[in-house]
């Protein structure tokens, strides 16, 4: 076959978005179970009549039929067959291939054997691949036409080459078993530094968790589960992980009509959140992940109960021994070498998560403080807080203002100061923007997004001495600050006495 043999696809019900999964087995019922099918609600109908069931009547559904040595699962506007959680289950029955595409031009080809996903990738010979053996299909993939307009057909052509079963239009003419799906649960994935909500909402607790040993982390995770289970009145939790996963899966399915994603009645949703917390504790890949995930669930439970989670979070911190919040250099040391190497320390420092640093030239510290409109709290080194705070100090001819968690109104600070002086603001968030604002009296504000935009003229003379941004942009932004001001932003400087301010 060639890609041209799939021209019928564009005018079929699968043309815009679909997932076709082929499993080398004759056990249709086992494939249905592997997809999470609710067999009690299955029905056999012609595929031509299945459109509404697959796309409208059920939130998630699959049409299943036998074709030669394979059981084929077809989803209209679905993607269950592309999920590793499903692929691992069905591939225990036999060699499995899956082809997925949608209206946003996203694609996915997956190949799984013996309960392991060997490779999975976007359509294209040069696309990034993951799996246990990412390049296992490389010779076949290289022979497929992946040109624009051929990606969907290329996926099916590759499936045909692997299975020997050409997916033809007449597969859609016969009778299929339409089965609603109670989705299998996603794996509990390890936490990703810099991307977890708790790090931004409660950074002191998050920092304490990251520095804790395994047993205290598990103690906190168990306490979080107890909190959410008590809120939900959840008792009699099954002992086996497989049995428990089935309970959570079916509970979500049964609550689907009332909208688990946010609209289920309070008591129902609390029970689901509690079940999720228990599952996170049982199946998390490490204690740190267990603590982060269960605390997130406990916070949500308090919010659903319209209760302030702060006392509970303080209790978790107490279980960790109430360690002091990170402050100042925190053991970091400036590097040697070029500008990026000298500032690379910021990457692993607690300020590396998110920060906003403003430099204002030849103006009193009080003028900069007034731009933030804040209340003076006292003096001390820069330290991590759950509440917004700015630390100001004078160095050479500049006032430096340092804020943890990038200020959402940085441009307003620049606007307030630029009529009086030259001002530079640099800021970053691991999961968000990396920006620099630069302004001089009587001139417009210049903005840099490192590595994304051309350098505006007012900053061009400063950036010629800097290497191109690479990876994390925070060291580059600190290097820019040094070039503009002549001041190296060192970890030792964070230990100096600052005026501490709560912005208004």
Structure tokens at 224: 């979080």
Rounded-to-integer distance, Cα 185 and Cα 131, Å: 19
Co-location of 142 and 208 in the same domain: no
- Does residue 102 belong to any structural domain of this protein? yes
Bridge partners, 359 (sequence order): 400, 424
Residue 349 banded pLDDT, cuts 50, 70, 90? very high
In a domain, 185, yes or no: no
Residues 219, 140 within the same domain:
no
Q: Tokens standing for 442? A: 């009587």
- Within a domain: 161: yes
Listed in sequence order, the residues at least 6 apart from 422 whose beta carbon sits closer than 8 Å to its beta carbon are: 360, 361, 362, 439, 440, 441
pLDDT in tens, 49-105: 776 655 555 668 899 999 999 999 999 989 999 999 999 999 999 999 999 999 988
Q: Decide: 143 and 158 in contact? Cβ < 8 Å.
A: no
Q: Is a pLDDT exceeding 80 seen at residue 288?
A: yes
Cα–Cα distances (Å) from 334 to 350, 354, 409, 478, in that order, read: 14, 19, 29, 12
Question: pLDDT tens across 6-63, in order?
Answer: 888 888 889 889 999 999 999 999 999 999 999 988 999 888 877 665 555 566 889 9
> Looking at residue 1, what is its pLDDT?
65
pLDDT band at residue 235 using 50, 70 and 90 as cut-offs: confident
Euclidean distance between CA atoms 29 and 466, whole angstroms: 62
Residue 58 has a pLDDT of: 61
Does the pLDDT value for residue 260 go beyond 60? no
Is 327 a member of any domain? no
Instruction: With both helix axes pointing from N to C terminus, report the angle between 410-417 and 365-372 in degrees, rounded to the nearest 10.
Output: 140
H-assigned helices in 36-168: 51-52, 84-90, 138-142, 151-163
pLDDT, tens digit, 9 for 90 and up, residues 120-177: 999 988 889 999 999 999 999 999 988 878 888 999 999 999 999 989 888 888 899 9
What is the rounded (10 degree) CA torsion for 241, 244, 246, 251?
-160
- pTM score of the predicted model: 0.84
- Domain, as residue range, for 236: 197-319
Q: Are residues 231 and 167 in the same domain?
A: no
Residue 402 forms part of a structural domain: yes
pLDDT, mean of residues 172-195: 91
Distance of alpha carbon 331 from alpha carbon 324, whole angstroms: 14
Whether residue 314 is found in the same domain as residue 397: no
Do 307 and 431 lie in a common domain? no
Q: How far apart are the first and last CA of the chain?
A: 68
Task: Tell me if 324 is assigned to some domain.
Answer: no
Q: Is the pLDDT of residue 258 over 60?
A: no
* Domain identity same for 397 and 252: no
| Domain end point (choices 287, 319, 351) | 319
Can you give the pLDDT at residue 373? 86
Same domain, 295 and 368: no
Residue 176 within a domain? yes
- Give the list of residues 6+ apart from residue 286 with CB closer than 8 angstroms, or none: 190, 214
How many folded domains does the chain comprise?
3
Going from the C-alpha of 379 to that of each of 121, 331, 332, 393, 497, the distances in angstroms are: 54, 21, 22, 10, 6
How far CA 201 is from CA of 197, 302, 325, 383, 386, in Å, comes to 6, 15, 15, 16, 7
Q: Is 155 helix (H, G, I), strand (E, B) or coil?
A: helix
- 23 near 44, Cβ under 8 Å? no
Identify whether residues 271 and 409 lie together within a single domain: no
17 and 142 co-located in one domain: yes
Asked if residue 54 and residue 156 are part of one domain, the reply reads yes
Within this chain, do residues 358 and 475 fall inside the same structural domain, yes or no? yes
pLDDT score at 137: 95
Q: Indicate if the alpha-carbon torsion angle 362, 367, 373, 376 is positive or negative.
A: positive
Q: CA-CA distance, 250 to 38, in Å (whole number)? A: 9
Write down the pLDDT at residue 214.
98
Residues sharing a CB contact under 8 Å with residue 101, sequence separation 6 or more, in sequence order: 17, 18, 19, 107, 108, 123, 151, 152, 155
Are 161 and 105 part of one and the same domain?
yes
């Amino acid at each position: 076959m060639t890609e041209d043999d799939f021209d019928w696809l564009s005018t079929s019900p699968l043309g815009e978005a679909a997932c076709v999964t082929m499993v080398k087995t004759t056990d249709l019922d086992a494939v249905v179970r592997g997809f999470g099918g609710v067999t009690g609600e299955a029905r056999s109908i012609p595929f031509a009549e299945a459109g509404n069931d697959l796309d409208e009547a059920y939130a998630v559904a699959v049409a299943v039929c036998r074709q030669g040595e394979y059981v084929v699962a077809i989803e209209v506007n679905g993607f269950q067959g592309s999920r590793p959680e499903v692929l691992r289950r069905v591939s225990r029955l036999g060699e499995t291939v899956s082809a997925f595409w949608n209206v946003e031009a996203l694609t996915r080809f997956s190949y799984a054997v013996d309960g392991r996903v060997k490779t999975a990738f976007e359509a294209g010979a040069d696309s990034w691949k993951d799996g246990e053996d990412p390049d296992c299909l490389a010779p076949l993939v290289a022979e497929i036409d992946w040109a624009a307009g051929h990606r969907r057909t290329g996926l099916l052509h590759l499936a045909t080459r692997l299975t020997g079963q050409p997916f033809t239009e007449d597969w859609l003419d016969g009778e299929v078993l339409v089965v609603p799906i109670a989705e299998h649960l996603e794996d509990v994935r390890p936490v990703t530094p810099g991307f977890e909500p708790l790090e931004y909402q409660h950074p002191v607790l998050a920092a304490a968790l990251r520095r804790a040993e395994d047993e205290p982390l598990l103690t906190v995770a168990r306490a979080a589960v107890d909190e959410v289970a008590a809120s939900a009145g959840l008792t009699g939790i099954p002992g086996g992980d497989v049995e428990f996963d089935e309970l959570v899966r079916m509970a979500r399915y049964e609550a689907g009509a009332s909208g688990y994603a946010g609209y289920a009645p309070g008591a129902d949703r609390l029970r689901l959140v509690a079940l999720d917390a228990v599952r996170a504790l049982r199946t998390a890949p490490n204690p740190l992940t267990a603590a982060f995930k269960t605390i997130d669930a406990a916070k949500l439970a308090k919010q659903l109960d319209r209760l302030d989670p702060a006392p509970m979070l303080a209790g978790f911190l107490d279980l960790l021994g109430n360690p002091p919040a990170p402050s100042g250099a925190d053991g970091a040391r400036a590097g040697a070498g070029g500008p990026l190497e000298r500032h690379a320390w910021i990457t692993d420092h607690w300020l590396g998560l998110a920060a906003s640093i403003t430099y204002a030239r030849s103006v009193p510290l009080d003028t900069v403080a007034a731009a933030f409109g804040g209340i003076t709290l006292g003096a001390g080194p820069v330290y991590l807080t759950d509440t917004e705070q700015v630390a100001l100090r004078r160095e050479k001819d500049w006032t430096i203002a340092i804020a943890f968690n990038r200020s959402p109104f940085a441009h307003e600070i620049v606007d307030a100061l630029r009529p009086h002086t030259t001002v530079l603001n640099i800021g970053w968030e691991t999961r968000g923007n990396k920006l620099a604002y630069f302004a001089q009296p009587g001139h417009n504000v210049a903005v840099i997004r490192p590595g994304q935009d051309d350098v505006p003229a007012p900053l061009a003379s400063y950036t010629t001495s800097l290497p191109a941004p690479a990876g994390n942009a925070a060291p580059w932004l600190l290097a820019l600050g040094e070039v503009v001001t002549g001041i190296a932003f060192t970890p030792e400087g964070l230990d100096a006495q600052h005026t501490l301010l709560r912005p208004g």
